[in-house]
Amino acid sequence: MFDELTSKFEDALKTLKGQNRISESNIEPAIKVVRTALLDADANLEIVNTFINEIRIEALGAEVIRGITPEQKFIEIVHKKLTNIMGESNEGLLYNIDGPTVIMLVGLQGAGKTTVAAKLGLYLKHQKRKVLLVAADTFRPAAKDQLKLLGEQIGVSVYTGDENNKSIEIALAGKEKAVKEAYDVVIIDTAGRLYVDEELMQELNKIKVSIDPQETLLVVDSMIGQEAAELTRVFNDQVSITGAILTKLDGDSRGGSALSIRRVSGKPIKFIGTGEKVDALEAFYPERIASRILGMGDILTLVDKAQREVEMTDVMRMQQKFQEASFDFTDFLQQMKLIKRMGSLGGLMKLLPGMNKIDEKTLKSGEMQLRRIQAMIDSMTNSERRDPKLLLKSPNRRKRIAVGSGYTDTEVDKMINDFEKMRNMMQGIASGDFSKLTNNPLLKKAGSKQPKQQKYPISQITDRDKKKEIKKRKGFLDL
């Protein structure tokens, strides 16, 4: 997400490194890079020019206090402006205090409204709300079938109306059903339409007037770039949207849409779609997105993801296992499954500060290594998973695991030894005794100021030795 934009902002900061203060001469190259980055990200030209002028004025008037570098001050200013242009803070859904909350989804065809309806339904279901999805898209073939299938997948009711019903009739009947059956939220999936087609836009407005929704959310495909500004303006003029949902931010999106919607309509982005899965929907927090764009990570979103998946009792149990060094391979598999539920390893790593610089090749290598470890664990018996020391004592067991997983004896040996070292380190960290961490020979070598000792003098290292080193596969501690 925003990888290209993040990279360009980092280039802008390089122009300020080594400077003692912010001046007209050194700020202009940085601002020029930022302007180019935003335009390349398909942000609206008018919005970009306004944004750049605001940064220039504030940066030149900023006082750089002692201990703060010019590039750090520039980051602070840009972060503040990015947050401001995207809406300051998260604005949640408006709920009806008397009867069900009606949410109407509008937008272009192909923006992903039907999928968003299901994602939003699941999001609200996790908040313990009773949700009804209404398939009011009568234009697109199989739209109703798609929503029914998604509804079954997430365990949420779907109302499709009769075969010959018009969109407005289905929407009204769906709302009536929600009232009678005491649903908390009803989500109306309307047909996609071109905003230049006045007749279709008028029909959309009639549906809105008839159902009187608390929320009219514009679903915007983030890959449409600069067109997002005009799209938002017309839909807001025609049907008076209350907010937007930005989809497909995990794809080739350049991020400019996120900067245009709020400034053009004055209405907030409320959610963002970050993947194809039905649980890949996040509340939109401008300050967090600004941090991601500037390569500062997003710890709060990572915490939110973890809180949705992890029970506090599990956290306490795992902490006790760390302290007792009883963390086993079964626990490790559970942690791997948790990571998968939270998203890809690469996506999670990029939420950590500074981790955005890790290239895709390295992230894929890490994911492949986790799959190798899982294959080895899957070849273990239950008793071996619960007691890793059984494997340390028995070469025959390790040999059987190697055959079963398709890896070599050496690779299995390294994985098991690394796992044991990792358990000892975790025990030290969890108990507050860092001697086990600092005394670990691998970390001691890594932290030492002394140069690494070569096994052989450099002059004696042969091409064969180099090839052997390249072929070595990573273990736990190499991840």
Tens digits of residue pLDDT in 407-453: 898 888 888 888 877 777 766 655 555 444 444 444 444 334 444 43
Mean pLDDT in residue range 55-61? 81
Domain end (from 58, 86, 114): 86
Domain end (from 86, 112, 133): 86
Query: Does a structural domain hold residue 305?
Result: no
CA separation for the pair 173, 178 (Å, rounded): 9
**For residue 430, what pLDDT is reported?**
53
Q: Are residues 176 and 319 in the same domain?
A: no
Out of 52-56, 227-231, 345-349, the most confident range is 52-56
Q: Are residues 118 and 259 in the same domain?
A: yes
**For residue 341, what pLDDT is reported?**
65
**For residue 115, what pLDDT is reported?**
93
113 near 219, Cβ under 8 Å?
yes
144 near 164, Cβ under 8 Å?
no
CA separation for the pair 357, 252 (Å, rounded): 18
Sheet of 131-136: strands edge to edge? Answer: 157-159, 131-136, 185-190, 101-107, 215-221, 243-247, 269-273, 281-283
β partners of residue 287: none
CA separation for the pair 422, 327 (Å, rounded): 10
Q: Are residues 227 and 292 in the same domain?
A: yes
Give the tens place of pLDDT for each residue, 250-268: 655 556 777 778 878 888 8
Kindly report whether the global pTM for this prediction surpasses the value 0.75.
Answer: no
Residue 128: partners with Cβ closer than 8 Å, 6 or more residues away: none
The encoded tokens of residue 272 equal: 């963002």
The encoded tokens of residue 16 equal: 């300020």
Q: Are residues 50 and 123 in the same domain?
A: no
Percent of the chain with pLDDT over 70: 69
**For residue 477, what pLDDT is reported?**
43
193 near 218, Cβ under 8 Å?
no
**For residue 33, what pLDDT is reported?**
81
Q: Confidence class of residue 313 from pLDDT cuts 50, 70 and 90? A: low
Give the tens place of pLDDT for each residue, 266-275: 888 999 888 8
Based on the structure, what is the number of domains in the chain?
Answer: 3
Q: Are residues 167 and 134 in the same domain?
A: yes
147 near 278, Cβ under 8 Å?
no
Q: Can you give 337-393 as a three-state secondary structure string?
A: HHHHHHCCHHHHHCCCCCHHHCCHHHHHHHHHHHHHHHHHHHCCCHHHHHCCHHHHH
CA separation for the pair 141, 315 (Å, rounded): 47
Percent of the chain with pLDDT over 90: 23
| CATH number of domain containing 27 | 1.20.120.140
Looking at the predicted structure, is the pLDDT value of residue 348 above 80? no
Query: Does a structural domain hold residue 14?
Result: yes
Looking at the predicted structure, is the pLDDT value of residue 42 above 70? yes
Q: At what angle do helices 3-14 and 70-86 cross, to 10 degrees?
A: 150
Q: Of residues 130 and 292, which shows the higher confidence score?
A: 130
| CATH number of domain containing 130 | 3.40.50.300
Mean pLDDT in residue range 136-162? 91
| CATH number of domain containing 425 | 1.10.260.30
Give the tens place of pLDDT for each residue, 448-478: 444 443 333 433 444 444 444 444 444 444 4
Q: Are residues 469 and 358 in the same domain?
A: yes
Out of 156-160, 402-406, 468-472, the most confident range is 156-160
Give the tens place of pLDDT for each residue, 356-368: 555 667 667 777 8
Q: Are residues 317 and 414 in the same domain?
A: yes
Q: Are residues 140 and 281 in the same domain?
A: yes
Looking at the predicted structure, is the pLDDT value of residue 158 above 90? yes
**For residue 102, what pLDDT is reported?**
96
Mean pLDDT in residue range 326-339? 76
**For residue 468, what pLDDT is reported?**
47
The vertex-477 CA angle with 474 and 479, nearest 5°, equals 60
Q: Are residues 174 and 72 in the same domain?
A: no
Q: Are residues 290 and 319 in the same domain?
A: no
Domain end (from 86, 115, 146): 86
For residue 267, with 0-12 CB atoms within 10 Å meaning exposed, 13-18 middle and 19 or more buried, which class applies? buried
Q: Of residues 233 and 324, which shows the higher confidence score?
A: 233
**For residue 431, what pLDDT is reported?**
55
Query: Does a structural domain hold residue 363?
Result: yes
Query: Does a structural domain hold residue 93?
Result: no
333 near 374, Cβ under 8 Å?
yes
Looking at the predicted structure, is the pLDDT value of residue 346 above 90? no
Average per-residue pLDDT in the chain? 76
CA separation for the pair 200, 107 (Å, rounded): 11
Looking at the predicted structure, is the pLDDT value of residue 22 above 60? yes
254 near 4, Cβ under 8 Å?
yes
Query: Does a structural domain hold residue 325?
Result: yes
Query: Domain range spanning residue 264?
Result: 101-296
Query: Does a structural domain hold residue 117?
Result: yes
Query: Does a structural domain hold residue 348?
Result: yes
Q: Are residues 278 and 319 in the same domain?
A: no
Q: Of residues 64 and 443, which shows the higher confidence score?
A: 64
For residue 186, with 0-12 CB atoms within 10 Å meaning exposed, 13-18 middle and 19 or more buried, which class applies? buried
Query: Does a structural domain hold residue 55?
Result: yes
Mean pLDDT in residue range 323-336? 73
Q: Confidence class of residue 332 from pLDDT cuts 50, 70 and 90? A: confident
Looking at the predicted structure, is the pLDDT value of residue 184 above 80? yes
The encoded tokens of residue 462 equal: 């042969």
Q: Are residues 35 and 108 in the same domain?
A: no
Give the tens place of pLDDT for each residue, 276-308: 888 889 888 888 777 767 665 444 455 555 555
**For residue 459, what pLDDT is reported?**
38
